[in-house]
Every structure is written in structure tokens, then in C-alpha cells.
A and B are shown apart, each in its own frame.
Chain A
Amino acid sequence: MYRQWVLTALLAWPLGAALVVMLAPPRWAKHIALATSLVEFAISVPLWWTFAPADGMQCILDVPWIPSWGIRYTVGVDGISLFMVLLTTFLVPLSVLGSYAYITTRERGFYALLLVLTTGMIGVFVALDLFLFYVMWEVMLIPMYFIIGVWGGERRIYAAIKFFLYTFFGSLLMLVAILALVYLVGQRTGVYSFAYAHLTAHIGGLGSVAFGLFGAFFLAFAIKVPMFPFHTWLPDAHVEAPTAGSVLLAGVLLKMGTYGFLRFALPLFPAVAVHPAVQRVIVALSLIGILYGGLVAMVQPDFKKLIAYSSVAHLGFVMLGIWALTLQSVQGALLVMINHGISTGGLFFLAGMLYERRHSRLIEAFGGIAKTVPMLAAVLTIVSLSSIGLPATNGFVGEFLVLLGTFRTYPLPATIATAGVVVAAMYLLPALQRVIFNPLDKSVNEKLADLSLREIAVLVPLLACIVWIGVYPKPILQRMEPSARQLVQSVRANAASFTAVR
């Protein structure tokens, strides 16, 4: 019962809640949003225990939607999507709580959009029908567009349009590719269906068309990740977005790109994915992302922009791990996806808290504030350290697995990527120093208030995850291992057989 309906409940509940938020008095909006998002989280938590790692795709609900077009409503989770769903339901209530003081205008609209966004995000991760996936991908796009465009900073319109056009461009190409794929597979099998299972079972013999289709998927996902050189929408969007927008953008939306590669691009086009030229390009772009993202982050005067560029670097690790196609590297990539949501999400929360105090995102607006806000400084230090992968924090386990796993396939690129560990220290520690250390030379900073109880409530769950995943990641690793193993093996095996046929 629970297993069959949980995913649908997770999709439906926020939509209903959004409706309630719209109808309720404005001053209740945030409380309703918090309560309902906590319920959403509560609904998702039993998944942790009911999930059976060895069973592959589960909690499936599969009903016809538009039968004449071969479209079904199919949802399910496996070890790859489970944690993306949980990460989403975990971050949403925190984002709501983190927005309490930040969002002061049109609250109903904001929180309703946040809840609609939740449906879209979870939908992307659970959809097992490519049409449903595409719909959810677009559903998630529109609320975020408004969140940036209405509640954002000064250049919000530019950033929102850039975000929208960029993503939309990629997703349209993806739609074309999906339609073409359904048509081609339908031609050969006689069954025109958007079902994920059907398509992945009949991907052989696409021939060189596969390269074109892969290219379309690649663009859509690479923009979302974002990979260099498709990344420039990200700093603008992050800087302008309100705290909750940045947190969910970094925490969840970027993962849709890497998730798309894991769920669709690799299993649908294995021969293309392991084609040496494709591999070279993607590994090179990942390395550029890691080093270039880090170096550009290092020279940013704007704290949120710095975090945005650091995301490019982190996601570079994810892409590298995925493309190395070893069990460790893929598990590491999945873990970095989770960790990035927690650590970078945390950094954006903290940047937002700093902004609320000083109305500046500039690093140089601060300095020496560890003296006036010791708790905020302590949390910022811990989260920064987790972001740069200090052992015994979550960040280390993920990066370690990615690099170790990648080293088995690509020793030299893995070595270069390991240098990214040095670069990470080079961008985050100087920023940390200029914010919380150094002389307390601005009088406005002498009277800053330390963390409030509400802010502590936002940050403590993140800190708990940082330590927990750093010290005892086994429960997560063992839940994702069978799915990751299955992915690696099927991609390698299918790629080999298709290549042999060709």
C-alpha cells in the first residue's frame, strides 16, 4: 500500500498544499508551507526503510495516461533516484524555514510556487515514462523562473530569462530527441511507447542516429549540470535568486542534469557514451569544470557567485565519476550529488543569513565577524570544510570515491582532478578568512546578531548530515550499490554488444 502510493502522494501533496497556500490568508502562507513540506518529508522518510536495495526499480505505480500515444503514468525509485527524492523532501522544509525573514512580499505566491516546484523536482526523479519526465522537467522550470524573476535581486529579470531560455533550449532539443527515439524504436518493434523500460530494452541497432539523439540529451543535461561552457546562466541565476531559490537550484535542480545522464543518456545510448571520442570530450569538460570553476570561483568578489562557480567544480567531479563508469566512481558521483546538496545548500543558507544582516553579498562587506557572531562563524567554517572535502565530513567520502574509482579507468585525468582538491582550498579558505577572520574594521559589523533559533533549526539538520555521512556513509552506500553496479554493468555490456554488432 505505502510502497505503491508513496511516490504519487509525494507528487500530489505539494500541489494540494500549494492550492491551500494560495487560498489561505497571506500571513499564514509560510507556516502552512512549512507544515505541509514537513508532512511531505514525513511521507518520504519510510522509503528509507522500505527500500530494498537489491530489488532494483520499486515502489512502481504504472497506469495509462494517454493510451493512444503510448504515454503512461509510471513512477518508481531505485538506488539512484531514492536519494534525490529524499534530498529534495529534506531540503524543501529547510528552504521554507530559511525564507521566513527573506521573503516579505507576495508570500502566498512564493510559497505556492515553492511547493509546485517540489512536485516538479520529485517528478523528474521518479518518472519512468519519458513523456512524464519531460512534463515534470518543464513543470520544475516555470516556478523557478518566477522565483528568480519576482523575488530575486536587482538583475533578476535578466537572470530569470537567461535561466529559462537556456534550460528551455536544451529541453526542447531533448523533446525532439525523445519523440525521435519513440518513433525509431516504435518502427522497429511495432510498439510506440514512451515507457522507459520499453525503450531501454530495445535500444540496439540505432546506429549512428544514436549519436544525434545522445547529442540532444547531452545538451539538455549538460546545460542543467552545468558543464563548461554551458555554465554561465548559473552564476547569474544564483546571485539573483532568493535564498530558497539558490538552495534548491544548487541542491536539487543541478542534480537533474547529472541524474539525466545516469538515468537516460547512459542507459539509452551506451555505445555512444563509451565511444572514445565522446569520453574524451566529456572527461575533458569535467576536468575543465573542476579546475576552471575553482579558479574562477577564487577571484569572485561576490560570495554567492563564488559558491555558484564552486558548484561548477563540484559537478565536474560528478560528471567525471559518472563517465569513469566504475562502481566506486558512480557511487561517489551519487554521493557527491547528495553532499553538494547539503554543503552548497548550507553555504547558500549562510550567504542568505549574512545578506539578511548586512544587505550585501560582497565578501569585502564583512571581515572579522567571528568575534561578533561566533556561532554563525563556526557553522560557516564547518560547512566550508565539508564543501572542500575534509575527511570525516561528507564531502570527503564522495570525492574520494569518485577519484579512486576514476583512477582505475583514467589515471591521468583522475590525478589532474585530484589537484582540484587544492584549488577548492584556494577558493573557499580565503573567502572564509575575509568573511569571518581578519580585522573587524567595519563598524556595522560590530553589532551583528548571531544565529537565531530559527536559523539554528535550519542549519542543525545540515550539520548533522555533514557529520553523519562523513563518519558513517554505509547506510547510503549500501542502498545505492546494487543500482550503481547494475548501471555500470549494463552500460558496459550493452556498449560492448552494440559495438560488436556494428
Chain B
Amino acid sequence: MPAVPLSLLWLVPALPLVGFVVNGTLALARPTAKRAVSIVGVGTLVLAFAAAAIAVAGLARHHATAPLVFRYWEWIPAGDLQVAFALQLDQLAAVMILVVTGVGALIHVFSVGYMHEDPGYARYFAYLNLFVFFMLILVLGANFPVMFVGWEGVGLCSYLLIGFWFNEQINADAGKKAFIVNRIGDFGFLVAMFLIFTRFGSLDFETVFAKAPAVLMPGGAVATTITLFLFLGCTGKSAQIPLYTWLPDAMQGPTPVSALIHAATMVTAGVYLVARCGVLFALSPLGSAVVAGVGALTALFAATIALKQWDIKRVLAYSTVSQLGYMFVGAGTGAYAAGIFHLVTHAFFKALLFLGSGSVIHAMHHAYHATHTDADAQDMRNMGGLRHYLPWTGALMWIATLAIAGIPPFAGFFSKDEILGAAFAEATIRPLWYAFWAMGLAAALLTAFYMTRLMLYTFHGPNRTGERERAHLHEAPPVMTGPLALLGILTVLGGALNVPELLGGHAFLERWLEPVTGVAQRLQPAVEVAHATEWALVAGAVLIAVLGIVGAFRLLKPEALVSARLAPPERGLARLLWKKWYVDELYDAIIVRPVMWVSREVLWKIVDARIVDGVLVNGTAAASRAVGWLGSRLQTGEVGVYVVLFVIGVLAVVGAAVR
């Protein structure tokens, strides 16, 4: 019997739902009631965090080795399909709900400052609350369909928030693209569910994972098919190759949204899914290899694009795609704890980076707004030297930059190192992983480089914002810098969550997650690497990071930059990277346009209008009219004609009868 604090688990998602209902009503009825909106929006999140903390504390005291499942009502009962609306709390879900509500609450606070002038303030918080609700359903769901409610629900909120400023077509387009691309992934999720149900007769996590080793043949086609379809879902939600293209466009949304949804929480749902279904992936070496391979490829590929982006948020977007790739390398390697660890630290430092960029954009926007200048507030070529105007933001973003680059002792160092270490260890038995490890290492070099580039161009060198505009640049108010500072602390200390034994730690997170990840891990062969090798790997990774940072300082010349308006067009490889390898153009040319063209010109205008409706339907009508006309021509009223026809008829009948 679960303890009292645990039975309050439903409060965790219910609170943001209440926030959504109240704020949604306010958005339609009294959109100017900003104070009430802030209190409800932030208040429900803070309370949800408190509820989550209490529940997790209860879980810790409980020493549960199995998930605690709470069934609330029968949702879809149909014969042998019994789907309950049920939530479950285990160690993995515990980590997720703390991140979602904790980082979520900080971002809600930040939003109070960032969105304060916006006429859609109430609508914004309604959507944000709704997002948190769905995200919590996603991570707390005790079966696949309930998880899917959260899975598509967060996609919906992402859609609504990307297109938040819907009166500009580019924003609305980006939202729509995100939804449709995600739906392609959801197709995979659905098919995986159907396959699981036909094999297991259930969609409950508990049943499926318990039965999996008996039902699925290790390495069999079924296990591989299930995991690949599931992973297709992950590539959509977590923006991996080939479905990553929506995420950079998603930067059209308000910046705190990018921080919460498109960096810290929603996009990590795919990693969570793989970790959650670790048993299934462990039974499919091929499926796992695809996860790790796609992750490694995405990590490297996205990092190359980040090298040449000028929009500060786009750099961070591609960086997120790349970092998510790392998490999949971890999850695909079977190092689920490492993947989740990186998910957590990334939530800290990437949220910090996004909110920091939000602080920068906020300042830039105000400067341009005050001087009625029409220039891009997100283009780094219009920035430069901002550390003089936004010292706190600059310092905190430097901490996050060092963290993502993998410099000890910041959080990112520990988590990234653990993933690379696990990949290298796996390579000792599956040599393919050498390639994944090398790609991860190369991506780490690029990461250090492009992040330093971002910092140099934004905060260092001369300012390029403009003479008059410069006077209006100023640091964000405390309601925004406060959350930044807290995230800064988490970025510095977050690594302590899981300091490996090699470095004298206790691998707390790994042990904490053991009840969840242990089953999958026991299905895989254990690999050990000598301490000396591990030390060498750590040293190599740090060296790579330092190389990237120093290289950026050496190679890049912030003082040589000119503002975006005057900048010469990119050429050669730089243009290729700036244009994101022309992948969007490629998809447009080989998928979007042909589908539209075939639908319009062939299916609608030819098949539907000409063939089905034209030939078959109206053709039949015309034919019957023609027969009628023919018949009417015979009704001449002349008896002679009738007699002739009559005789012909009689002869025909007689002839037929005789023969």
C-alpha cells in the first residue's frame, strides 16, 4: 500500500491542468488580468514542483523496486483490450517530473518578465501550463496509450506555442511543420503499439516489460520491428535524422518556449521513451545500434550546421539537436543512466543558454524598438560586446558554454563523458561503436567551437547594434536574471548527481535508476574497461573541448564582423552549412512538392474530377440521356416505322427460337 504522499501523485499533473483551465478562461474572457494570470501560471507550477518533490521523497523512502501504479479509471475497455487511465511513479519518472516541474517553474518565472508586454500574455501561460500537464502525463503514464496522450499533447502545445505570434505566416508555418513532422513520428509510435498489443495482449508497461524476455526472441524480427517503429516516433519528437528539420524552425516561438519545450523537456521525450522501453531495445541489438548510430550521426551533422548560423537561437537549436544525438548514443548503447544523466544536465545548461539568449534578445528588441530600427534582434552580427551591457547574462551563459563544451567540473562534462565512455566500452565487443564514439568526439570538438563562437560574437569584441540603439541595451530585470542564476547554480553543481567512481564519486543517479534500467542492463553483456583507458578517455575528451574553445578564440575575429545588413553573402562550404546542407530544400523538392502536385493535379483534377466524376458518373448520365434521345427518335408517330421495327423484332425472336 503506497504511502500518503504517493497517493497525491495525481496532483502533479492536475495542478498545471487547473492552471490551463483558469488561464485559458482568462485568455478568452479577461486577457488583461495579467497579475492573476501570473499568479495562477507560476503558482500552479511551483505547487506542482512541491507535489513532485513530496512524491519523489515518498518513493525514496519506499525503496520501491517496481513502479507504483495508480489506476484512476478504465479509459478504453474493449474486450481483451483494457487500457486504464493510470499513472506510475518509478525512479525514472521521478527524475523526469522533477526536471519538468523544476526547470518548468523557473521558465514560468522568467516568462513573467519576458512576455510582460505581450497582449497574448494569458493565452501564453494557458498554453505553457497545458504543456506541462501533457509533459507530466507523458512521463507518468503507466501504459503506452496514456503516454501517447502526453506524447501528442506536448506536440499540440509545441504547435500552439511555436505559432504563438500567429499573425506572421513564418511562425504559423513553423508550428504547422512541427506538428506534421511529429505526426510522421507518431505514426511509428502507433504502429509499435499495435504490434506490441498483438504480441503481448496488453499495453501496460508492467506487463509488457515483464513478459518481453519470454515473448520476444532476442535479436528477432519482431523485437527489431517494434523498436524501430518506436524509434521512428523518437526521431520525430526528439528531432533526430531524418525528422529533425522542424526543430530549428520551431525557434519562431517565444524564447522561453524554446527553453522549456525545445530544449529541456519535450524534445527529450524520445530519450525517455527509449530508456523506458529499455527492455525491448535490449532485446534488439539491431534496434539499439540504429538508435546509437542515428544519434551519433545527428550529433555530428547538426553540430556542423551550428558552425555557420548567425541567428543566436538557431545555433542553440542545432546544438540541441546535436546534444539529443548524444543522449541517443547513450540510450542506444544501453547506458540508459548516462543518457538520462545527460538529459538532466542538458536541461539545466541548455535552458540557461536559451533563457540567456532570451535575455539578450529581450535587450536587443527593446533597443531596436525604442529607436524604431528595423533590424534582426536575433542575428549575432548585430550584437557584439554585450558583456558590458548584460554582465550577468554574459557570465551565466559562459558557465553554460563551458558545461556544454565538456569542461570539468561543470555538469555537461560528467554526462557527456559518461556517454562517450560507454560507447567506447561497447566498442570493445561491437566494433561499430568505435565509429559512434569517434563521431561523438568530433561533435564535441565542434560543440566547443560553435558555442565559443556564439559567446565571442555575442558578448565580446566591438558592439554592432548601432550608435543610438546601444544606449537602450540593458540587463534583464531580476524576475528574469533570478531563474538564470538558479540554472547557473544547477549547471555548476549538476554533475554531482552522478560523479563516477573513477573520479571518487558514488554514481548516485545510476544507482537511483537501477531498479528501472537494471532489467535491460542484465539482458546485455557487461563490458569493463581498464581504469587507465578510462582516464585516457577523460583526458582526451577534455583536451578536445579545450582545443575547440582555444581554436575558436584563435580563428574567429569578432572585430572583423559587420552588422547583418552589410554582411557579404556566404560562399562555398560556409554557404552550404549556413543553408543547413539544403536538407529543407531537398525534402521540399522530393516530398512536399510532389505530394502536393500529385494530390492537386492528378488525384483531384484528373482522377476525381475527370475520371470518377466526369467519365463514370456524368458519363453514365450522358449515356442514359443519349439512350433516351435515341429512344425518343424512334417514337416518330409514323405507323410505317413501327411496323418495320415490329417485323424485324418478330423475325429476330423467331430466328433465335428456331436456331
Residues of A whose CB lies within 8 Å of any CB of B are 162, 165-166, 228-229, 231-233, 292, 295-296, 298-300, 327-328, 331-332, 368, 370-371, 374-375, 378, 385, 390-392, 396-397, 400-401, 403-405, 407-408, 411, 414-415, 418-419, 421-422, 425-426, 429-430, 433, 436-440, 471-474, 477-478, 481, 485
Contact = CB atoms under 8 A, between A and B. Distances in A.
A165 B620 CA distance: 11
A299 B599 contact: yes
Given A232-B612, A477-B76, 8 more contacts: A228-B612, A229-B612, A328-B78, A368-B166, A400-B76, A429-B176, A438-B166, A438-B169
Contacts of A407: 191, 194-195, 197-198
A298 B28 CA distance: 30
A414 B194 contact: yes
B79 interface: yes
B179 A403 contact: no
Nearest to B203: A404
B148 interface: yes
B616 interface: yes
Contacts of B145: 391, 400
A434 to B, nearest CB: 9
B599 A404 contact: no
Contacts of A385: 156
17 contacts: A165-B621, A231-B612, A232-B608, A295-B599, A296-B603, A299-B604, A374-B28, A385-B156, A390-B153, A391-B153, A401-B78, A404-B194, A411-B195, A422-B180, A429-B159, A437-B163, A472-B75
Nearest to A298: B599
Interface residues of B, number: 56
Nearest to A329: B78
B76 A296 contact: no
B344 interface: no
A418 B595 CA distance: 17
B187 interface: yes
B184 interface: yes
A472 B613 contact: no
B39 interface: no
B435 interface: no
A403 B78 contact: no
A296 B176 CA distance: 19
B72 to A, nearest CB: 10
Contact of B81 (A328, A422, A425): A328
Q: Give the top 8 A-B pairs by smallest Cβ distance, nearest first.
A: A407-B194, A437-B166, A437-B172, A327-B79, A299-B600, A232-B613, A391-B149, A295-B599
A421 B186 contact: yes
Interface string B125-142: 000000000000000000
Given A436-B166, A440-B167, A474 B197 contact: no
A433 B596 contact: no
B95 interface: no
Contact of B172 (A403, A418, A438): A438
A418 B187 contact: yes
A474 B77 contact: yes
Nearest to A231: B612
B176 A430 contact: yes
Interface string B61-91: 0000000000001111111110001000000
Contact of A403 (B151, B184, B190): B190
Contact of B168 (A165, A298, A331, A439): A439
Contacts of A390: 152-153, 156
Contacts of A327: 78-80
Contacts of A437: 163, 166-167, 169, 172, 175
A121 to B, nearest CB: 25
B190 A292 contact: no
Interface string B370-399: 000000000000000000000000000000
Nearest to A407: B194
Interface of B: 27-28, 73-81, 85, 145, 148-149, 151-153, 156, 159, 163, 166-169, 172-173, 175-176, 179-180, 183-184, 186-187, 190-191, 193-195, 197-198, 595-596, 598-600, 603-604, 607-608, 612-613, 616-617, 621
B11 to A, nearest CB: 18
A472 B166 contact: no
B28 A368 contact: no
Most buried by B among A299, A370, A473: A299
B616 A229 contact: yes
Nearest to B80: A327
A371 B191 CA distance: 38
B351 to A, nearest CB: 27
A332 B77 CA distance: 11
Contacts of B604: 296, 299-300
Contacts of A391: 145, 148-149, 151-153
Contacts of A425: 179-180, 183
Contact of A481 (B74, B78, B163, B598): B78
A163 B195 CA distance: 41
Which of the listed residues B75, B79, B604, B616 has the most CB atoms from chain A within 10 Å of its own CB?
Answer: B79
A232 B617 contact: yes
B167 A392 contact: no
B74 A474 contact: yes
Contacts of B179: 425, 429
B167 A368 contact: yes
B136 to A, nearest CB: 13
Nearest to B169: A438
A439 B176 contact: no
A408 B80 CA distance: 12
B172 A292 contact: no
Contacts of A368: 166-167
A157 B191 CA distance: 45
B192 to A, nearest CB: 10
B166 to A, nearest CB: 4
Nearest to B165: A437
Given A232-B613, A418-B190, A440-B167, A397 B599 contact: no
Given A232-B612, A391-B148, A400-B145, A421 B169 contact: no
Contact of B187 (A331, A400, A421): A421
Nearest to A392: B149
A500 B575 CA distance: 71
Nearest to A371: B167
A438 B184 CA distance: 24
A436 B169 CA distance: 11
Nearest to B184: A422
B31 to A, nearest CB: 8
A378 B193 CA distance: 31
Given A298-B596, A392-B153, A473 B190 contact: no
Nearest to B148: A391
A439 B599 CA distance: 26
A375 to B, nearest CB: 6
Given A418-B191, A437-B163, A292 B603 contact: yes
Nearest to B194: A407
B223 to A, nearest CB: 16
Contacts of B613: 232
A295 B598 CA distance: 9
Contacts of B168: 439
Most chain B CB neighbours (cut-off 10 Å) among A331, A400, A419? A400
A418 B232 CA distance: 14
A452 to B, nearest CB: 15
Contacts of B617: 162, 166, 232-233
A269 to B, nearest CB: 25
A289 to B, nearest CB: 12
Contacts of A397: 76
Contacts of B78: 327-328, 331-332, 401, 405, 477, 481
B79 A481 contact: yes
Contacts of B151: 391
Contacts of B194: 403-404, 407, 411, 414-415, 418
A155 B159 CA distance: 38
Given A295-B603, A418-B191, A477 B167 contact: no
